[in-house]
Chain A
Amino acid sequence: MSNTSKYFARRVVKSLLVLVLIAIFNFFLIRAAPGDPAEIMAGLSGGADAQTLSAMRSQLGLDKPVATQLMMHLRSIATFDLGYSYRQQEPVASLIMAHLPATLLLTTTAFLFALASGIYLGVQAALRAGRWSDSAITTFALLVYATPSFWIGLMLVLLFSVQLGWLPAFGYETIGAGHVGLARAMDIASHLVLPALTMGLFFMAIYARLTRASVLEVSHMDFVKTARAKGMPERLVVRRHVLRNALLPVITFAGLQAGSLVGGSVLVETVFAWPGIGRLAFDALAQRDYALLLGIFFVASIIVVAINILTDIAYVLADPRIELK
């Protein structure tokens, strides 16, 4: 077995252990919040008597000992049966699947936008270090970084939706328009612009600052000077030697951000009425919908673990000196 294969085998085993620990931790974490789903369902229905509440608890399995509830939870996730949301009266898996595509579309768009524009701006700023364009990019990045994203979102809505009327203010698509095919894709894209910008701008600023600092640092290293001394064109020096080495901290941060992709953003999804999983998780927490919340946490933890492994692979691709052992 090669070193790489051994590495991945070890990582998968460790990851499974991590997933179980996360599942146990989440199980106790959500029960630490006061109230339970039965109390909330009864309360929001206008009240209940003791017998009804007790029947609801029994139906939800809340009358069983905590250890039994934990074992039931672990058994259900081991079989990928994420359970049933009595609150929403739907299987948890179907609720997650209904919200996941919208979240992935939003977060992936925001992620790619942030990564591409952030790296581009960072490199441009570093290559023009000390000039006015560097100051302009750095100031812009600082401004965007320091501004709360919900405020940016509201301002974007005011400008592009209310004042200019170019883009829809909220929603996933035009309801009732009956678009299909390309027309629907374009419609969704127009709805996607503002939330993706709102979400992506903050990360763009981080990538830009990170890339700038890293490129500046690498630019003064000996191997870069050697490449220049050998007469290599500047464009190739930057692409092959500077950027490739400078990207390692960016990849680390991108891995962290990618980990949050599946969780969505409660704030952006709320402001833009985006039907994503962040909002679903928030509502599930507010309703103490244990099954749904644990299901979302479980799916999110799988994706985070998988992205961590992918980040390791990205390190190797960016820098061949790194070996997976």
Chain B
Amino acid sequence: MHIRRALWRCAVPALVIASSPAFAQITPTPGGVLNAIVAPEPPTLNVALQPVAVTQMVASKVYESLIVYSPKLEPTPGLARAWTVSPDRLTYTFHLQKGVRWHDGQKFTSADVVFSYKKILANTARTRAVMENVADVIAPDDDTVVFKLKQPYSAFLYSMDIGGGAILPKHLYDVPTEPDKNPHNNAPVGTGPFKFSKWVRGSHIELVKNPDYWRKGLPYLDGITYRVIPDAASRRLAVEQGTVQQAGAYDIEPFDAPRLAMLPTIKTTGAGSEYWAPMVWVEMNTSLAPFNDKRFRQAVLYALDRNFIVSKIFYGHGTVSTGPIHNKTRFYDPEVKRYPFDPKQAAKLLDDMGLKPDAAGVRARVNYIPMPYGEVHRRFAEYLKLSLGRVGIAVNIESADVGTWLKRMGDGDFQMVGNGVFQYGDPAIGVARTYISSNIRKGLAFSNTSQYRNPAVDELFAKAAIAPEAERQALYSQVQRILVEDAAVAWIYDVAPPVFLSKKVHDAITTALGTSGSYAEAWMSK
């Protein structure tokens, strides 16, 4: 009797605790299918060949890479359980997880990694530049892969996200068919926590739980269904009605975000963009007057109330940029010259240049091409026109679709253009490319399209890319100070794109890749 009473006394509080919301938060419940928005529809699911954002979001549940990045951007084990770097920083040795199988039951080995890097990734838009630092990739045994570098490349461990380092099955891709025509591109076979089930083009993509996943006990979810909803208003409605439990960063127009955030069923997080570290900026073509004078570029920065832009136009989803490196990217340094909102200073700089207002108050006439991604960028363009107009810079807004925007930006066929760029964890990968003079290449978007040239900047970026870790901060701090003084571009804001999740969804955003994480640990409460 005493024992039973004692057990009862323990059981009652235990039941109370177990049924409390706090307890529910920490005890993952298996089961459930997560419905998430994907927009636009991914062109393909082969993330190695086309690492566009939407493909990464879906394919990151099916494929895996050697490394996963923590929210603090620390490399943590993925398909590699451990790795070592030789003292000369020329040899990276990866020890692979054991017991990993492809979704079709074949054993995953080092041969898959070697094949993926040498035959697939070395030829892709994203990873080709990284692989130019690599002399060879070899597999001494089934569980080990060795990358031999030509010269030290300090960002090497940051190039292995799912978009840059997805491992494909050799037994399905080492075939006479060219990789772009492989039928598995749209019916992927990976090693990840979810298996591809079905893709109804224009409607949805279904992934189901991989019961043989190498991380035992995971994943918790029975599946994930990505729903293609092309219209922004319909996407908002889908979240409001609970048809979907996840809307990604760019699915919801920023002006709809506050309304969704107030819903009692929805939680919002700005986490999960640390690896991408997206920045929005205005590029000025420095090969043309008056943009070739840094005073003009500085005047543009002074003329813009960037606090207003971030808080009112982009609804606070980020912070005002201080310079070329996003505040979440490694080696960010806030100790740089600042450009507060100061129209008088802007006017003074323009006066100093000799750009006096004409009878209509106009000092210079410029064209601006906004980013072609939604209503919010058109609103920003209107604000830019208004602000620069106040200091005598008359802005003519040119509209362009994505193709035209990319073409004109790549060809340098612009005066001012809105741009958004990812930084991929390390400045050597995602920052240098937009400022070094060797990357001024006609026809290539997201290169140094503003055509900024500064030998000192070239040298600092080159040194920092190969310098030992301890020496890199000083080099990047120096380059940030130069670029900010030169106002190489008008940095607007470091984006922290919000993700909208049902409050029933837990542990979805656990890595620096946000919605492009594996979701192995994600679960849904009942």
- Tell me, in angstroms, the Cα distance from A238 to B201 when the chains sit together: 47
With A88-B43, A286-B403 as contacts: A275 and B202 at CB distance below 8 Å: yes
- Asked whether A89 is an interface residue with its Cβ less than 8 Å from the other chain, the reply is yes
- Asked whether B181 is an interface residue with its Cβ less than 8 Å from the other chain, the reply is yes
Within 8 A of A (CB), among B235-279: 237-238, 241, 243
Contact with A along B198-212 (1 / 0, CB 8 A): 001111101000000
| Tally of A-B Cβ pairs under 8 angstroms | 177
- Tell me, in angstroms, the Cα distance from A102 to B228 when the chains sit together: 15
- Tell me, in angstroms, the Cα distance from A82 to B401 when the chains sit together: 26
Which residue of A40, A95, A171 is within 8 Å of B402 (Cβ)?
A40
- Asked whether B292 is an interface residue with its Cβ less than 8 Å from the other chain, the reply is no
With A89-B180, A98-B202, A157-B237 as contacts: A170 and B43 at CB distance below 8 Å: no
Contact with A along B432-455 (1 / 0, CB 8 A): 010000000101111100000000
- Asked whether B225 is an interface residue with its Cβ less than 8 Å from the other chain, the reply is yes
Q: Which residues of B contact A98 (CB under 8 A)?
A: 200-202
Chain B's interface size range is 35 or more
With A87-B43, A102-B202 as contacts: A35 and B404 at CB distance below 8 Å: yes
Segment of B124-132, B308-316, B353-361 engaged in the interface with chain A? B124-132
Q: Which residues of A contact B204 (CB under 8 A)?
A: 175
- Tell me, in angstroms, the Cα distance from A273 to B237 when the chains sit together: 12
- Contact (Cβ within 8 A) B125 A169: no
- Asked whether A48 is an interface residue with its Cβ less than 8 Å from the other chain, the reply is yes
- Tell me, in angstroms, the Cα distance from A169 to B244 when the chains sit together: 13
Q: Which residues of A contact B181 (CB under 8 A)?
A: 84, 89
With A170-B234, A172-B203, A275-B202 as contacts: A52 and B52 at CB distance below 8 Å: no
Segment of B102-110, B281-289, B324-332, B405-413 engaged in the interface with chain A? B405-413
- Asked whether A287 is an interface residue with its Cβ less than 8 Å from the other chain, the reply is yes
- Tell me, in angstroms, the Cα distance from A154 to B233 when the chains sit together: 9
Q: Which residues of B contact A39 (CB under 8 A)?
A: 403, 406-407, 410, 443, 445
With A39-B445, A40-B402, A175-B225 as contacts: A45 and B126 at CB distance below 8 Å: yes
- Contact (Cβ within 8 A) B406 A35: yes
Which residue of B128, B202, B228 is within 8 Å of A51 (Cβ)?
B128
- Asked whether B195 is an interface residue with its Cβ less than 8 Å from the other chain, the reply is no
- Asked whether A313 is an interface residue with its Cβ less than 8 Å from the other chain, the reply is no
Q: Which residues of B contact A170 (CB under 8 A)?
A: 229, 231, 234, 237-238
Q: Which residues of B contact A44 (CB under 8 A)?
A: 50, 52-53, 402
Q: Which residues of A contact B35 (CB under 8 A)?
A: 175-176
- Tell me, in angstroms, the Cα distance from A46 to B50 when the chains sit together: 9
- Contact (Cβ within 8 A) A86 B180: yes
Contact with B along A157-187 (1 / 0, CB 8 A): 1000110000001111101100000000000
Which residue of B128, B206, B237 is within 8 Å of A48 (Cβ)?
B128
Q: Which residues of A contact B231 (CB under 8 A)?
A: 170, 270-273
Within 8 A of A (CB), among B46-77: 46, 49-53
- Tell me, in angstroms, the Cα distance from A154 to B231 when the chains sit together: 11
- Asked whether B40 is an interface residue with its Cβ less than 8 Å from the other chain, the reply is yes
Most buried by B among A47, A98, A157, A275: A47
- Contact (Cβ within 8 A) B234 A271: yes
- Contact (Cβ within 8 A) B237 A162: yes
Within 8 A of A (CB), among B170-190: 180-182, 185-186
Q: Which residues of B contact A272 (CB under 8 A)?
A: 231, 234
- Tell me, in angstroms, the Cα distance from A271 to B406 when the chains sit together: 26
Contact with B along A50-63 (1 / 0, CB 8 A): 11110110010000
- Tell me, in angstroms, the Cα distance from A289 to B230 when the chains sit together: 18
With A98-B201, A286-B402 as contacts: A46 and B444 at CB distance below 8 Å: no
Q: How far is the CB of B398 from chain A (nearest CB, A)?
A: 12
- Contact (Cβ within 8 A) A42 B445: yes
Q: Which residues of B contact A175 (CB under 8 A)?
A: 35, 203-204, 206, 225, 227
Within 8 A of B (CB), among A253-298: 269-276, 279-280, 283, 286-288
Q: Which residues of B contact A (CB under 8 A)?
A: 33, 35, 40-41, 43-44, 46, 49-53, 123-126, 128-129, 163, 180-182, 185-186, 200-204, 206, 225, 227-231, 233-234, 237-238, 241, 243, 400-404, 406-408, 410, 422, 424, 433, 441, 443-447
Given contacts A35-B406, A43-B445, A280-B201, 11 further A-B contacts (CB under 8 A): A36-B403, A42-B444, A45-B50, A48-B126, A53-B443, A87-B44, A88-B44, A98-B200, A169-B237, A271-B233, A286-B403
